[in-house]
Structure 1
Amino acid sequence: MSTLLAVKPKVIKENWKAYCLLIPSIIIFALFMFWPFIYTVYLSFFEWNMISPTKKFVGFQNYIDVLSDSKNYKVLGNTFIYIAILLLLNCIIPYIFSYVIDIVLKRFKGFYKSAIFLPAFISLVVGSILFTWILNPVSGPVAIILGWLGFEMPIWSKTDGWVILVLSLITSWKVFGYNFIVLYASINGISKELIEAARLDNVPLWRIFINIVLPMSSATGIYVIIITIVQGLQYVFTPIKVITQGGPNYASSNAIYQTYHEAFVLYRTGHSAALSILTMVIFIVLLMIEFKFVEKGVYYEN
């Protein structure tokens, strides 16, 4: 009993040390996450243009206005399209690339890894400007080559559908390499003896990928899916801002850019805050669906 009493003050002392070490992180979270979130919720109940010294309380009217505005449904539809395209370009394709380079190819692996990861070092603003020149429908290299072949390049920045696809390609060019390296590291950690045994039994490469590689790297795959969903909501902001500013007629805008547009272009802070909260709710719902239906089959080693 006396030993237990002697140990207890030591444990309490160690706990206080741990809490003290957490204080800097808690302060940072409070300043840059909790307080902005609380203030955004607060602003969503007011009408304010960021210039007037007073705010007018309107209750849930901002939420009603956001939900009754047809353009916001178009913007949310664009957001889901961005997410779907980026899941294909930044999750499925990097998975296949990482599998082929690690398991199938025997030479020049270092070159391929470096070449694929290289765009991750380049600013997304620079990438947006570069792609704007390459895909210029009049004088860009792609338009010139298509002209030689007898095709006419569409004015994608003014065309519904095309503009979302091109902006997704620009974003994917930037973030593809990071997802590829993460997935490659996961696949590279799978036992090579297991894969070689399957190949000796003449198991097709596509079945090795689906039945061995995919399940055993699924924990990393889930992480990449979550990151890709975040990219669908956030990373596309830069090319939208640099190239289209949400046009034509909100055809390229997504939820994140629209909140910026409402606050800093139209000066409707309450609408922007309400849309931000609704976007966060949608993001939480997406994560809940992902955890409920996808993560159940995840393989965690050991």
Structure 2
Amino acid sequence: MKEHASKFRSYALLAPSLIVLAVFVGYPLIYTIYLSFFEWNMVSPVKKFVGFDNYSKIVQDPVFQKVAWNSLGYILLFIIFTCVFPYVVAFLMDIVVGKVREFYKPIFFVPAVVSLVVASMVFTWILNPVSGPVALVLKKIGLTMPFWSNLDGWVIAVIAMITAWKVFGYNFIVLYAAIAGIDREVIEAAKLDRIPTYKILLNIVVPLSSSTGIYVFVITIVQGLQYVFTPIKIITKGGPNNGSANLIYYSYQKAFEMYKVGESSAVSVLTLLLFIVILGLTFKFIEKGVYYEN
């Protein structure tokens, strides 16, 4: 009886979370998959079943193909800005700089609490190719800042940088905590043996903190396309010629600007599948090499 009562109590405690998860995650996911097989404009009372036609249209659409490549390029830059750079900075703060790290830690974390809307507007002013501070400084040394918002490639890099500025602080603090937890004797022994600093990072720090590193890596992939919606919406609206659009924003455009809900749902499902593939490859080829203490 006690065992049954304990199980019932466990399920009862889990029930509120499961209900919230089912209502706000499970149902929308299932309904999105359902809508991807229909043609609907959000106004008509009748949904026309079209099967896999929405998926066929989307996959063959040159705009979708461009947006998909944009998304992959953005994710790659985002990973470099929010995984590689925080790792290096956290290592330098803890192992190399040391004395003034308590001053820099809160400074690096401040962007994590700043709204992306505000950040997007501020960076738009700072990076204004005509009158922004960066353009004026470059002009004094004889350089001209490109009109990045009108150039493919440049616009993705700038959007990735703006979004990374928001995420950098959180990733830095998490990675710093992992690096600070590494046995100091190992680091000191490497220094006494005059091992180069970069080898200490690559051969000691990264492997010993890899369990936290894989967490940051996965979170970065998951958040990458989610966070970028705001700067795209505020700064570029997906331009120039869909040069800055990503899969999330393209899905939004299909649903709320073109009223093609079925195609929008198909894009969302394909995006979900892309995430599953990326995360699956991550756990298959990267996670098995992660060091878990004890």
- Could you report, residue by residue, the CA deviation over 1:143-166 in whole angstroms, capped at 9, with x for unpaired residues? 111111111111111111110011
1:128 aligns with 2:134: no
What CA distance in whole angstroms lies between the structure 2 residues aligned with 1:106 and 1:131? 31
Given residue 244 of structure 1, which amino acid in structure 2 is its aligned partner? T
CA contact (8 A) 1:48 1:55 kept: yes
1:53-132 to 2 correspondences below 5 Å: 53-132=45-124
1:281 is aligned to 273
Given residue 113 of structure 2, which amino acid in structure 1 is its aligned partner? F
> How many residues were matched structurally?
294
What CA distance in whole angstroms lies between the structure 2 residues aligned with 1:32 and 1:219? 30
Given residue 215 of structure 1, which amino acid in structure 2 is its aligned partner? P
1:245 aligns with 2:237: yes
C-alpha deviation, 1:232, in angstroms: 2.2
1:49 is aligned to 41
2:25 is aligned to 33
1:6 is aligned to none
- Could you report, residue by residue, the CA deviation over 1:241-279 in whole angstroms, capped at 9, with x for unpaired residues? 110111111100001111111101111000000010011
SS in 2 for 1:234: helix
**Percent of aligned pairs sharing the same letter:** 57
C-alpha deviation, 1:115, in angstroms: 1.1
SS in 1 for 2:227: coil
Out of 216, 224, 230, the position equivalent to 2:216 is 224
Out of 145, 149, 155, the position equivalent to 2:141 is 149
1:143-292 to 2 correspondences below 5 Å: 143-292=135-284
SS in 2 for 1:98: helix
C-alpha deviation, 1:196, in angstroms: 1.0
Bigger CA radius of gyration: 1
Unmatched segments (≥5 aa) in structure 1: 1-8
What TM-score comes out, normalization by structure 1 length?
0.96
Following TM superposition, where does structure 1 have runs of at least 4 consecutive aligned residues deviating by more than 4 angstroms?
none
What CA distance in whole angstroms lies between the structure 2 residues aligned with 1:246 and 1:276? 17
What CA distance in whole angstroms lies between the structure 2 residues aligned with 1:40 and 1:255? 15
What CA distance in whole angstroms lies between the structure 2 residues aligned with 1:106 and 1:284? 39
C-alpha deviation, 1:106, in angstroms: 2.6
What CA distance in whole angstroms lies between the structure 1 residues aligned with 2:240 and 2:199? 44
1:5 is aligned to none
Unmatched segments (≥5 aa) in structure 2: none
What CA distance in whole angstroms lies between the structure 2 residues aligned with 1:84 and 1:26? 34
CA contact (8 A) 1:91 1:224 kept: yes
Given residue 119 of structure 1, which amino acid in structure 2 is its aligned partner? P
What TM-score comes out, normalization by structure 2 length?
0.98
What CA distance in whole angstroms lies between the structure 2 residues aligned with 1:43 and 1:231? 24
C-alpha deviation, 1:57, in angstroms: 1.0
What CA distance in whole angstroms lies between the structure 1 residues aligned with 2:149 and 2:198? 38
What CA distance in whole angstroms lies between the structure 1 residues aligned with 2:90 and 2:263? 43
What CA distance in whole angstroms lies between the structure 1 residues aligned with 2:129 and 2:200? 43
CA contact (8 A) 1:79 1:232 kept: no
